[in-house]
Each structure stands twice: as C-alpha cells, then as structure tokens.
C-alpha cells in the first residue's frame, strides 16, 4: 500500500514542477489546475475563500457588512477622477483575476475590502503553526517589516537618520505607506500604484485620518506602473516594495528593481517584504498539491515568484550589497544598497 509520502516520492520521479525544494507530478498539478479553471468549481472555491476571510474578520470582532455599507455610500467616482491618470496603460499580467476578484485589482470590491481583508488574512501570520488568530497580526507584520529594515540598513552601513524621501511601489490603499511614515518620522512618502481604485480608497482614508488628527500627512499618491514611475532620478532615499513581487512575473519584478535603482540616490536602499518560499510554513503548503494549486489559483504569478532569485536579481539591477532577514514565520525582508 502506498503512503502519502511514498506517493509523493513516486510523483517526484516524474519530470515535476519545482517549488523551492518541493516537486510535484505535472499530471497531478495539471488535474488540480484544470479543476480550478472549471468555472463552477472556481466560483465555489472563490466563494468559500471569501466567506472564510469575512468570517475570520468577524471572529476578530469586526463588522464586515456594516463597514462595506458605509464605504459603498461614499462618492467614489469623484475620488477616482482625482487620482486616475487616464494616460496609464495596464500591462497584460495585471489585467487578470487576482485574489478571486475576476477584475483583479481593477475594481471597487477589491479596493473597498482591502483593509479588512489584510487584517483577516494576516491574523495568522505571526504563528508558525498558522493557527493562533491575532487581531493585530497585520500591524505586527508591518512593524516587523520596519524593524527588519532598520536592522538591515544598520548592517549595510546605510544612513537611517537621513531618510527623508520614500517611494512605496505598489502602495494599494497605503497600509505599507503608513507603516513607512511610522518607521521614518519626518520622511515623506510617495505611494505609486496601478489601481486607481486602491488609490481612491487610500486618499479617502487619508482624508479621514487628517480630519481626525487635525494635521496633514506627508503622503501623496501617484497612479502609474512601478516599472516606469516618471519620478525624478536620484530623488529617493528609500524605495519600498511590500507584498507586491508575488503578484508579478519575474521580468516585471526585475524592471521594477531597475526603476528603484534609478530612483535612489547613491547610498539609498531598496527594501522588499515578501512571502518567504523557503519558510517551513510555505514548504508545508508547497508539499500539498491541492493547497498549493488553490493558493496559485488566486495568485496567478506565484510560481514565477517562487523561482525568483531575489538577491541575484537585485545585484543584476545594479545594487552593490543585499541582506535578508526573516520578518515573520512566513515573510522575509530584503534590503539592497545602491553605491
Ligand atoms: C498585495 S497588494 C500590496 C499593497 C501594499 N504594499 C501592502 O503592503 O499592503 C499589491 C499592490 O501592488 C499593485 N501593483 C501590482 N503590480 C504593479 C505595478 N506593476 N505597478 C504598480 N503597482 C502594482 C497592485 O495594484 C496592488 O495594489
């Protein structure tokens, strides 16, 4: 009789798909993938995933439906027009379903839900077993990014007190941008994103914070591609890309690294926080073809991301030194110095 382990060994003898150490039988993966491409199955899986995210958010004490009702009552079209650059063109890798939204990042549903979805999805990230729910998981994930940036910069001998101008590539509605403002008080952050929907929601949330706090935030928004921001060369002390690379084909990530290198002054750093495919948590997912394919069905570029040699790509983009630290049991922070 075959055990699961022996079946896996048999599968690995076939010419398989590599996922950072794990290797799957292409027939098995093809079958699971075909299942996820079958619309009724995909729709059911999507519904299931979404209801799990909503339920988890509510079990953390949040009111998903109530928050959505309030958000949907806002005038989004005016905000959309204020942030949208109609000249922006969307790369084909971007205009496909992501995270179980059929229009990917180019729709209101994804943008209005993003803060709650982040709190729900990240509630488990600090627990190595992925079981213990933490209502502050998202905040901890982000503050661990800041802490690792500071440690990495210290190791690289980069000037941390001189960080004044930050660019946040793939900022969405600004969760990462706000963390950068917290990590570098006195700095100004320019958030760049391809989705005018996310930027409109980010601007709305910023207006509310500014009204509540009585002072403006040093955060501005640019609608555009991270590969070609149009921002001035050498004008940034720090460029961040937080939780974006797994949504990109490898060539796009490499183009963004080259753009970050162009944006930075000598002595500036590019910082990346991402899933860590080498972590035991991801290795567990990768060793289960069904879990892996389900994950991949909402992250179309996941397999490319896993194949990326991040330090190698950063060096290829011109960065002189690269250091990596673990941020959570499943995320890493990579920092690269421009000489
Ligand atoms: C998972 S979200 C991460 C958002 C945010 N940085 C955070 O930490 O929560 C990825 C974001 O990257 C944006 N994005 C993806 N590809 C992009 C590109 N080529 N240029 C600019 N933004 C991009 C998406 O629109 C989305 O808002």
Supply the mean pLDDT for the chain.
89
Residue 265 to residues 105, 107, 153, 156, Cα–Cα distance (Å): 31, 35, 15, 15
Which residue's CA is the nearest one to ligand 1's atom 13? 170
Please state the atom number of ligand 1 nearest to the C-alpha of residue 252. Answer: 19
CA 24, CA 26: separation in Å to the nearest integer? 6
Predicted local distance difference test score (pLDDT) of residue 26 = 67
Domain containing residue 123: CATH number: 3.40.50.150
Buried-state track 29-49, b at ≥16 Cβ within 10 A, e below 16: beebeeebeeeeebeebbeeb
CA 167, CA 171: separation in Å to the nearest integer? 9
Answer whether residue 17 is part of any domain: no
Q: Is 286 in the pocket of ligand 1 (CB under 6 A)?
A: no
Residue 300 contacts residue 98 (beta carbons within 8 Å): yes
Residue 88 contacts residue 77 (beta carbons within 8 Å): no
Give the residue ranges of the chain where pLDDT is below 70. Answer: 1-26, 28-29
Q: Is 105 in the pocket of ligand 1 (CB under 6 A)?
A: yes
DSSP per-residue letters across 98-114: BTTBTTTTSSHHHHHHH
Please give the distance, rounded to the nearest whole angstrom, from the Cα atom of residue 104 to the centre of ligand 1. Answer: 11
Please give the distance, rounded to the nearest whole angstrom, from the Cα atom of residue 155 to the centre of ligand 1. Answer: 28
Residue 1 to residues 4, 6, 28, 205, Cα–Cα distance (Å): 10, 9, 19, 58
Please state the atom number of ligand 1 nearest to the C-alpha of residue 91. Answer: 19
Please state the atom number of ligand 1 nearest to the C-alpha of residue 105. Answer: 25
CA 172, CA 203: separation in Å to the nearest integer? 10
Q: Is 171 in the pocket of ligand 1 (CB under 6 A)?
A: yes
Answer whether residue 69 is part of any domain: yes
Answer whether residue 14 is part of any domain: no
Q: Where are the alpha helices (DSSP H) in 157-267?
A: 175-183, 196-213, 250-263
Answer whether residue 287 is part of any domain: no
Among 172, 181, 305, which is best to mutate for testing ligand 1, by the most ligand atoms less than 8 A from CB? 172
Which residue's CA is the nearest one to ligand 1's atom 14? 170
Q: Is 306 in the pocket of ligand 1 (CB under 6 A)?
A: no
Which residue's CA is the nearest one to ligand 1's atom 24? 170
Predicted local distance difference test score (pLDDT) of residue 15 = 31
Please give the distance, rounded to the nearest whole angstrom, from the Cα atom of residue 26 to the centre of ligand 1. Answer: 30
Q: Is 247 in the pocket of ligand 1 (CB under 6 A)?
A: yes
Please give the distance, rounded to the nearest whole angstrom, from the Cα atom of residue 177 to the centre of ligand 1. Answer: 11
Q: Where are the alpha helices (DSSP H) in the chain?
A: 4-13, 26-37, 39-59, 64-72, 76-83, 108-121, 137-156, 175-183, 196-213, 250-263, 280-286, 289-298, 302-307, 310-316
Answer whether residue 111 is part of any domain: yes
CA 338, CA 320: separation in Å to the nearest integer? 6
Domain range holding 307? 46-279+299-337
Answer whether residue 153 is part of any domain: yes
Backbone CA torsion sign across 19, 21, 25, 28: negative
Q: Is 244 in the pocket of ligand 1 (CB under 6 A)?
A: yes
Answer whether residue 162 is part of any domain: yes
Q: Is 94 in the pocket of ligand 1 (CB under 6 A)?
A: yes
pLDDT digits (tens, 9 = 90+) for 207-230: 999 999 999 999 999 999 999 999
Which residue's CA is the nearest one to ligand 1's atom 7? 176
End-to-end CA distance of the chain: 59
Domains of the chain: total: 1
Selection from 228, 236, 183, 192 nearest residue 91 by Cα:
228
Answer whether residue 288 is part of any domain: no
CA 18, CA 26: separation in Å to the nearest integer? 10
Q: Quick one: tokens of 43?
A: 């729709």
Residue 318: partners with Cβ closer than 8 Å, 6 or more residues away: 258, 261, 338
């Amino acid at each position: 009789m075959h055990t699961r382990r022996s079946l896996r060994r048999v599968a690995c003898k076939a010419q398989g798909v590599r996922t950072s150490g794990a290797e799957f039988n292409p027939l098995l993966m093809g079958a699971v993938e075909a299942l996820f491409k079958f619309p009724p199955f995909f729709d059911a899986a999507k519904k299931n995933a979404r209801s799990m995210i909503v339920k988890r958010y509510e079990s953390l004490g949040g009111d998903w439906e109530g928050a959505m009702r309030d958000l949907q009552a806002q005038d989004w079209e005016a905000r959309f027009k204020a942030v949208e650059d109609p000249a922006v063109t969307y790369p084909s890798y971007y205009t496909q379903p992501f995270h179980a939204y059929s229009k990917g990042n180019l729709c209101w549903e994804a943008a209005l839900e993003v803060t709650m979805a982040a709190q729900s999805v990240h509630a488990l990230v600090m627990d190595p077993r992925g079981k213990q729910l933490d209502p502050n998981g998202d905040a901890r994930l982000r503050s661990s990014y800041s802490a690792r940036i500071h440690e990495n910069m210290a190791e690289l001998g980069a000037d941390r007190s001189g960080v004044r101008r930050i660019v946040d590539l793939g900022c969405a509605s600004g969760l990462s941008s706000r963390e950068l403002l917290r990590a570098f008080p006195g700095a100004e952050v320019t958030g760049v994103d391809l989705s005018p929907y996310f930027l409109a929601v980010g601007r709305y949330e910023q207006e509310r914070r500014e009204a509540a706090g009585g002072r403006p935030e040093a955060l501005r928004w640019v609608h555009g591609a991270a590969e070609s921001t149009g921002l001035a060369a050498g004008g940034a002390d720090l460029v961040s890309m937080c939780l974006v690379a797994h949504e990109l084909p490898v060539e796009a990530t490499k183009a963004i690294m080259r753009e970050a290198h162009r944006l930075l002054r000598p002595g500036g750093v590019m910082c990346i926080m991402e899933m860590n495919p080498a972590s035991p948590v991801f290795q567990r997912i990768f060793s289960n073809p069904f879990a892996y394919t389900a994950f991949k069905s909402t992250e179309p570029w996941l397999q490319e991301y896993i194949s990326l040699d991040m330090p190698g790509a950063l060096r290829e983009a011109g960065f002189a030194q690269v250091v990596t630290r673990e941020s959570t049991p499943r995320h890493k922070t990579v920092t690269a110095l421009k000489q």
